[in-house]
Chain A
Amino acid sequence: MSYELTVERLIEAPAEVVFDAFTDPAAQRVWMRDRDDPGAILETECDLRVGGAWVIAWGPSRDRLYRETNVFQVVDRPRRLAMTTTSTTPDGDRLDTTTEVTFQEQDGKTRMTVVQRGFPTAEVRDYFASTAWANVLEALDGFVRGKEQPA
């Protein structure tokens, strides 16, 4: 049970130019920089090959870093990237998803689409943790006891 998100953007350049800027670490250090907070930490390393990792770390200080590790599953320049994505917050929350990025060129422009999949439905997970499994275990416990000590 999971959710996904889609983000689209039309960029005024051919797909090869967009793809290369997206995957080149030197370019990433420019376009990923937070324009509202140019002094924030931003580190990115990108090993563009299947099995290679794109590792990003950013945040206000060394001890408050967000991290994202993308491992490439598909590298199809300049059309498509597929990767597994592990995101962590400074508080230690961790989220595993998959991310697919496509570059569709039309009339010298590129439509970029990012689809990130696998967001858990916390409501269902919490329901299991708090209520459903407790009920099941209680019922099972009662069932087992009933067998042991037939009334």
Chain B
Amino acid sequence: MVQFQALDRTFSALSDATRRDILERLGRGPASISELARPSGMSLTGLKKHVKTLEAAGLVTTEKVGRTRTCRLAPGHLDDAMQWIAVHRRRWQRRLDGLAAYVEQTRGGTG
């Protein structure tokens, strides 16, 4: 029964697009509540609520130092998915860097 409750929490935590965005962002490294709130345009109170849900599901851990609460992915969770994403992100970054260099050199060379 305990396991089913854990599954329910994981699912309900992942069922929300904002919370998936938070996890995706944390896959790139730890972030403060205000750093997480900035791109979504969400209030700090609203964002804290989402982080609390993720924390209860064991997907995220938070630590308060001074006035800043730092959030990070809980170890062992979502690692595989994040690795896939990291590999593909690097792949696209390299491609777009190569494309930019190619286009800018070609145009620079011809006028």
Contacts and interface: CB of A to CB of B under 8 A. Distances in A.
Nearest to B77: A123
A131 B3 contact: yes
Interface stretch (B29-37, B48-56, B64-72, B90-98): B90-98
Say which size band chain B's interface belongs to: 35 or more
Interface string A120-137: 111110110001100100
A89 B14 CA distance: 28
B96 A17 contact: no
Nearest to B92: A7
B24 A120 contact: no
A3 B88 CA distance: 12
B interface SS class: helix
Given A12-B104, A121-B14, A33 B81 contact: no
A119 interface: yes
Contact of B80 (A11, A87, A122): A122
Interface string B67-111: 000000000011111001100110011111111111110110000
Contacts of A87: 88
Interface of A: 1, 3-5, 7, 9, 11-13, 17-18, 21-22, 27, 30-35, 87, 95, 97, 112, 114, 116, 119-124, 126-127, 131-132, 135
B89 A5 contact: yes
B85 to A, nearest CB: 5
A11 B99 contact: yes
Interface in B1-22: 3-4, 7, 10-11, 14-15, 20
A92 B99 CA distance: 28
B107 A132 contact: no
A122 B81 CA distance: 5
Given A17-B103, A112-B96, A135 B11 contact: no
A33 B99 CA distance: 10
B23 interface: yes
B99 A121 contact: no
B92 A114 contact: yes
B11 A124 contact: yes
